[in-house]
Structures are given as structure tokens and as C-alpha cells.
């Protein structure tokens, strides 16, 4: 045992390195290709699906770009010369009895003898489409014997009724992974279990050893189901224990109570507002006020749909702590958004943001802006206002985290779009509060989060939701434009842009790429055959030039993207936002740098090029930049995604639904779990492998309840060392780092 009372990492079969159990080549491939280094890594690499003995894989169930292993029968094989170069192409066709898939090999005519028509085999590779047909180019394959099992593979795969198909990548196949797991399973014995006995008993769950055998070598569907139920619950339980511990730790911290007897700044601000706060805004404001009055730090997530008024709620909270004698910091992920927040806050406050200045309110405060690209004189003045406390509200980027930024009394930290900041950054800002206390923390996100995701990722945080949209907003209408299907509609798109500009309005055109010098590195390629030409996504630099020289000639077309300097970005936004500026812009061609927080009331139209390259939530955030004032907005999704494809389904969902919370649920249903949690789908370890938050709310609820009860009894898990080790492993896992940042 270690000095901390946890099992030593060197103890037990699960922590043994695969290099000591498997052949060096296999162990190295598992480590480099899949990130699997230990016995536990390998045993937690669960099968993606199971093929039934005697049945073939349904070949129509795959998407382009997906890495698959399929069980099919060879139908025919033929070799032909290549058209564009010397050499031959061997094409084999496999079938599931309903649909076909082509296998393509370049200059490998000798494989004709292996791919005998009528024989079954396992075939692994990346799915692509060539001339309308699905194919695997240069797949790995293993032919299965015609009769009784005679070789090692056959004995392994046909031992049971279910053949496990593992997530694989180029360089290591599903059947190679299966063989490695078979060797490891024979050595594991009876494993220590992170799930307490009473928890397993309450939910009728099998032990860890039985579960690992059951998921890798199921003797029946019932055995597989029991294994999956147990391992799924374990994932939920360990994560909820970690979140329960963090919540308890936060509750144990000390914070200064910020409960002013009166709030003249808040009252004066409310009186200035040209609209009435919604019931939701008032209710959330009261929740935050109660948190600020507590003796432990607030840790609250404020989520709301596009245009729901989160910034107003956050500003009322900041003014409340200023009334209580403290300071508030608003942290934004980019300088563009920080500058936007500063303009927005000072604009809403008016004289209340100009205390001590001519025309400023006596009860007001100052709002300072701190970014890395400020002029030296402006920065020095802002730093002085922050240090002396003159600036009750400080807006900035990560520049606020630098050591030489000193606050007089930091009481509240508001983080906009928290998934763009790491724990270390937020901790650095928290350390700037008075010794022995922590500031209150309010996190805002404009990406609506499904309830189960909130429980899974933000289980240690109180969540407030704004679902109403303030009255007076005209909203936005969304349509899909497919140039190849309706060329006239594509032409009409740019005519409509001209009409909007003639009315004095502004138009966004959004592209997936920047283009130019890094075009080769950043281009997003569609799946293609070796003989096909790659297709590029639309790029800002190319589209802006084409529009300015063609359909939008005579209009003022500008650009905005991530390679521009902060000064250039701010200048572009200023020119676009200011209708009367002599150097103003009519049309802004941009990347997704405008996705969050940008507020231009005169922007009424957005054209999103290659819209199928974006996810549902991202498209919803992008279109939220138009229709923000009293003028109605129009969003056109330009795509060449074929009818019936998953990409087209996503676009149809966005076009038919304006509610962000409904779209977030649809996004969760359509996307794979790892994408929702922000992790890679390259085959590397994921924090959640079997738990699908869109489908397993009941499991999450049960695990959350049990975890909180256990942590209340045993906060440090002193009586549960195996569980403590599992929680520690979760914290140390690379994907757990994302859960903290999400």
C-alpha cells in the first residue's frame, strides 16, 4: 500500500505493462495506435459490437470515414489496369446478402488466391465512397475456415455464439486485439472491485472479473447484458463519486459573504433598462444573490439559449458585489469577445460606469478592460484602477491571470464560455482573492446543455437555466440552399445579400477555413478514393475575393479570422458594427471566431458556406448572431450534402427548430458520446465508454444518489481504497482533464 492508503500502482495484474505479457510488436502497436499500455487499458477497450455466429454484417449501416471491421462473404474478384498510372487495381466485392461493399487493392494481384468467392472473412479498414458505392481501400483481412475450426483464430472467434468486433485503427486489427485480450483474460484471476459490495447488491450487479469476461467473451446475450449493465454503472458511479467529492470540497471552502443591505447600483441599473426583466432572469438573479450571501463560494453554471439575457443577469450579480464593497472580473476566451463585453457593459451602464468622470454617477463604478494587446498607457491606467479598487468591474482575457495583475478585493469571477478555459487558469484567478477565502464563481454558457449531460459533466456545480427570450427580439428564419439542386436559389442568395445591404443592414458570411498560406494543413478533405480529387471546404480568403469580384461587386466586403492580429480583429468588428463609419463594412466574411458573444443589432442575414462541416450546436450559435434586435434575421445553410445523409439531417434539424435546448437534445442523439464530451474518436481511451448520457438518465440518477450517500459517510474514501484508486485514475486520465474544462 502507498503512504496515502491507496493501492500501489505497481500492485496487481491490472497495472502490469502489456509489454511484459504480449509480444513486443503487438504491445507497441497497442500503445502507439490505441494508447493502451497496461492490462486494464486493454480490458477496458470494449468491443464496439458483436457479430452473430453464422450471420454477416449489415453493410449499409456505416458512414464514410468510419473505421470498421465487417464479417462478409466474397462474391467476386477481378483485376484491371489503372487508368491514370501504371499498375493494377484488384477489386473484390463482399456481400451481406442484401448490400455489397467493394474492397480495393493497388498492385496486389496476388491476393486473388486468398479472396476466394464463397468464403467468409473479417475485413477491417476505413469506409469511403467511390462512384456512389461504399468501399474499403487496402483493408486488412482474415479469411475464416470453411469447415470446423482448425487454426487459432477460428478457435478464438467461434468459441461462442458472439464474435466481438473491437474499435481498431490502421495498423492493428480487431482480431489482433481479440487475440491479445484472450491472452490477458487467462491471467487476471479474481480482481479487486471498485464498486462497494452493498452497491452491487442493491442493483444486482455482477463483480468486475465476471463483467470483464462477460463483455469480451460472452457465452450468451444474457451474460453480455449483465456485463454491460455492471460496467456502465461503474462508469457513472466513479464519475459521480469524483463530482460529489469536489462539491463537498467546494462547500468546505470559505468565502466572504457579499450581501449588501441595499443595492443602489442594481436598482439604478434596472431603472436604466429599456425592457422589463423576464421572470426567469429575476428568479436566477435571486438564486445568485442567495449564493453570494453564503459563507462558502458560489459555483454556479448559468446556461441559456442565444439571446436569453445571460449577460444582464451576470451584470446584476457583478453590481451586487460592487455594492457590497468587492470587485468582479469577467473573463472572456478571446480579445474580440472581451472587447465586445466591455462595450456592451459600459453601454448598458452608461453614467454608472463613469464614477469620478464628468457626467458620471456618484453611486457608479468604473469598468476596466485588460487584454494582452492593449497600448502600454491604456494598460497602465487599467491596472491602476484594478489595484486601487476604482474599477469595480474588470473585463479581460487570460491577461487577467498574469502575476502582476492585482485586485483590491476580488469577490466574483464570471467566466464566459467556460469550456474554453482550463482549471489551472480559473484557479490562478481565484488565488487573487483575499487570503483564506475564495471568490464566488459564475460560469456562463450559450450552448444549451441537456439535463443528463449537466448531471454527468457539471455534477459538482449548481445549474441555473434561462429558457425565456426577452420580448422585442424578432428572431431568425433558417433555410437550406443546395446549389447543385437549385442553381437559381444559389444565385438568389447573393441577390438577397445585396437587398439587405441596400436596407442599411449587415450580413455575415461564415466559412469553415481561413485559406491562404496554411490551406494544405487546414483543409478538411471529404473521404476520397486514391484516384479521386480531394474536395476543399470553403475558405474566408477565397470566398471574400470571389464575392467582392463577382456577385457582391461594389459592396464593402471585409474579413475576420483567427490569423489576424487582435488590433485587426477589433478594427474589422468596429467597421462592421458601425453603420455610419466611412470605412464601414457591409459584408463580413468570417470563420467561427464570431460564433459566441458578437452583438451587431444591424446584422440581419448570415450565409454559412459548407454548413455540413459544422455541428448542430455550432450552427445554432452562429445563426444567433443575426436577428438580435427588432429586425428579423435570415440564415441560409449552403451545402452539397446529399439528401438523406447524416449531414443533411443535421441541417434539416437546425432549419426546422429554433429552440436551442431541443437542438441540444437532438445533437446528443445524433452525435457519438465521445464527441459530446469533447474527446477524440481516434480509438484512444475515453472517460465514458458504455454510458450514453442521452439514453441512461436512470443509471446516472441512481449512481449520483449512491455516490452522494457514500461521500457523505466517507468523504476521503478511506474505507474504499479500490474505489479511491479508480477515482484517482479518473482524475489523472487525459479525458478527465477535459471534464474539468468542459
Q: Answer yes or no: is 119 within a domain.
A: yes
pLDDT at 741 over 60: no
Q: Answer yes or no: is 639 within a domain.
A: yes
Question: Domain end: 165, 184, 219, which one?
Answer: 165
Lowest pLDDT segment from 56-70, 210-224, 448-462, 663-677: 663-677
Q: Answer yes or no: is 704 within a domain.
A: no
Tell me what the mean pLDDT of segment 183-191 comes to: 90
Q: Answer yes or no: is 344 within a domain.
A: no
Residues 52 and 29 sit within 8 Å (Cβ to Cβ): no
pLDDT at 8 over 80: no
pTM of the model as a whole: 0.65
For residue 485, give the 3-state DSSP assignment.
coil
- Per-residue pLDDT of 352-391, as tens digits, reads 998 888 788 889 999 999 987 788 888 899 999 999 999 9
Q: Answer yes or no: is 366 within a domain.
A: no
Q: Is the dihedral of CA 406, 412, 413, 415 positive or negative?
A: negative
- Per-residue pLDDT of 291-308, as tens digits, reads 999 988 898 888 887 777
Q: Answer yes or no: is 31 within a domain.
A: no
pLDDT at 449 over 70: no
Domain count, the chain: 2
Question: Domain end: 137, 165, 193, which one?
Answer: 165
Residues 6+ apart with CB under 8 A from 63: 127, 646
With cut-offs at 50, 70 and 90, classify the pLDDT of residue 136. confident
d(CA 427, CA 422): 9
Question: Domain end: 622, 657, 692, which one?
Answer: 657
Helices 279-292 and 310-323 pack at an angle, to 10 degrees, of 40
DSSP class of 717: -
Residues 6+ apart with CB under 8 A from 536: 513, 519, 523, 524, 525
Look up the domain containing 486 and give its range. Answer: 476-657
CATH number of the domain at 490, please.
Answer: 3.40.50.300
What is the Cα gyration radius of the chain? 29
Residues 157 and 175 sit within 8 Å (Cβ to Cβ): yes
CATH number of the domain at 106, please.
Answer: 2.40.50.140
Residues 6+ apart with CB under 8 A from 582: none
Amino acid at each position: 500500500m502507498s503512504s496515502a492508503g491507496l493501492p500501489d500502482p505497481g500492485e496487481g495484474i491490472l497495472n502490469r505493462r502489456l509489454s511484459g505479457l504480449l509480444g513486443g510488436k503487438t504491445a507497441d502497436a497497442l500503445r502507439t495506435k490505441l494508447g493502451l499500455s497496461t492490462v486494464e487499458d486493454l480490458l477496458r477497450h470494449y468491443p464496439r459490437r458483436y457479430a452473430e455466429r453464422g450471420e454477416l454484417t449489415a453493410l449499409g449501416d456505416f458512414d464514410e470515414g468510419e473505421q470498421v471491421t465487417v464479417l462478409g462473404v466474397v462474391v467476386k474478384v477481378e483485376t484491371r489496369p489503372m487508368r491514370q498510372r501504371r499498375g493494377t487495381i484488384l477489386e473484390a466485392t463482399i456481400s451481406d446478402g442484401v448490400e455489397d461493399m467493394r474492397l480495393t487493392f493497388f498492385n496486389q494481384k496476388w491476393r486473388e488466391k486468398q479472396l476466394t468467392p464463397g468464403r467468409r472473412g473479417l475485413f477491417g479498414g476505413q469506409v469511403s465512397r467511390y462512384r456512389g458505392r461504399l468501399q474499403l481501400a487496402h483493408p486488412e483481412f482474415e479469411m475464416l475456415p470453411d469447415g470446423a475450426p482448425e487454426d487459432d483464430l477460428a478457435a478464438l472467434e467461434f468459441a461462442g455464439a458472439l464474435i466481438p468486433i473491437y474499435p481498431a485503427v490502421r495498423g492493428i486489427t480487431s482480431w489482433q486485439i481479440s487475440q491479445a485480450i484472450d491472452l490477458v483474460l487467462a491471467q487476471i484471476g479474481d480482481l479487486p472491485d471498485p464498486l462497494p459490495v452493498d452497491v452491487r447488491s442493491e442493483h444486482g450487479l455482477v463483480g468486475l472479473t465476471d463483467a470483464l469476461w462477460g463483455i469480451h467473451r460472452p457465452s450468451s446475450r444474457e451474460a453480455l447484458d449483465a456485463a454491460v449493465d455492471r460496467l456502465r454503472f461503474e462508469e457513472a458511479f466513479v464519475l459521480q463519486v469524483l463530482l460529489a467529492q469536489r462539491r463537498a470540497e467546494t462547500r468546505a471552502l470559505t468565502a466572504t459573504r457579499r450581501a449588501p443591505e441595499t443595492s443602489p447600483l442594481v436598482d439604478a441599473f434596472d431603472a436604466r433598462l429599456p425592457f422589463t426583466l423576464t421572470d426567469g432572469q429575476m428568479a436566477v438573479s435571486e438564486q445568485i444573490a442567495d449564493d453570494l450571501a453564503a459563507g462558502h463560494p458560489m459555483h454556479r453554471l448559468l446556461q441559456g439559449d442565444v439571446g436569453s439575457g445571460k449577460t444582464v443577469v451576470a451584470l446584476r450579480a457583478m453590481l451586487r458585489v460592487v455594492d457590497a464593497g468587492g470587485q468582479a472580473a469577467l473573463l472572456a476566451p478571446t480579445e474580440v469577445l472581451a472587447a465586445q463585453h466591455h462595450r456592451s457593459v459600459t453601454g448598458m451602464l452608461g453614467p454608472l460606469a463613469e464614477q469620478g468622470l464628468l457626467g458620471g454617477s456618484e453611486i457608479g463604478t468604473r469598468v476596466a478592460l485588460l487584454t494582452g494587446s492593449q497600448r502600454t498607457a491604456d494598460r497602465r491606467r487599467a491596472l491602476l484602477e484594478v489595484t486601487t479598487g476604482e474599477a469595480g468591474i474588470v473585463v479581460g482575457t487570460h491577461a487577467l491571470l498574469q502575476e502582476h495583475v492585482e485586485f483590491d478585493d476580488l469577490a466574483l469571477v464570471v467566466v464566459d464560455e467556460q469550456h474554453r478555459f482550463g482549471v489551472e487558469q480559473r484557479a490562478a484567478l481565484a488565488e487573487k482573492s483575499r487570503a483564506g477565502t475564495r471568490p464566488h464563481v459564475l460560469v456562463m454558457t450559450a450552448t444549451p446543455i441537456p439535463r443528463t449531460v449537466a448531471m454527468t459533466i457539471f455534477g459538482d456545480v449548481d445549474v441555473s437555466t434561462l429558457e425565456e427570450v426577452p420580448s422585442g427580439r424578432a428572431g431568425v428564419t433558417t433555410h437550406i440552399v443546395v446549389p447543385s439542386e437549385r442553381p437559381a436559389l444559389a444565385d438568389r442568395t447573393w441577390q438577397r445579400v445585396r437587398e439587405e445591404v441596400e436596407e442599411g443592414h449587415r450580413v455575415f458570411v461564415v466559412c469553415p477555413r481561413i485559406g491562404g498560406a496554411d490551406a494544405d494543413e487546414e483543409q478538411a478533405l471529404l473521404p476520397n478514393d486514391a484516384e479521386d480529387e480531394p474536395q476543399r471546404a470553403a475558405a474566408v480568403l477565397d470566398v471574400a475575393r470571389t464575392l467582392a469580384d463577382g456577385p457582391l461587386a461594389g459592396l464593402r466586403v471585409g474579413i475576420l479570422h483567427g490569423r489576424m492580429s487582435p488590433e485587426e480583429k477589433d478594427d474589422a468588428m468596429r467597421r462592421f458594427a458601425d453603420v455610419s463609419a466611412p470605412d464601414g463594412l457591409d459584408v463580413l466574411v468570417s470563420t467561427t471566431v464570431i460564433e459566441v458573444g458578437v452583438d451587431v443589432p444591424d446584422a440581419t442575414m448570415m450565409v454559412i458556406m459548407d454548413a455540413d462541416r459544422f455541428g448542430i450546436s455550432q450552427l445554432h450559435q452562429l445563426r444567433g448572431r443575426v436577428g438580435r434586435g427588432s429586425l428579423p434575421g435570415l440564415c441560409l445553410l449552403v451545402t452539397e450534402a446529399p439528401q438523406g445523409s447524416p449531414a443533411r439531417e443535421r441541417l434539416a434539424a437546425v432549419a426546422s427548430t429554433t429552440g436551442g435546448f431541443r437542438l441540444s437534445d437532438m445533437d446528443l442523439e445524433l452525435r457519438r458520446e465521445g464527441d459530446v464530451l469533447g474527446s477524440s474518436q481516434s480509438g484512444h481511451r475515453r472517460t465514458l465508454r458504455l454510458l450514453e448520457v442521452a439514453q441512461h438518465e436512470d443509471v446516472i440518477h441512481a449512481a449520483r444518489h449512491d455516490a452522494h450517500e457514500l461521500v457523505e459517510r466517507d468523504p476521503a474514501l478511506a474505507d474504499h481504497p479500490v474505489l479511491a484508486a479508480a477515482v484517482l485514475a479518473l482524475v489523472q486520465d487525459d479525458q478527465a482533464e477535459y471534464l474539468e474544462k468542459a
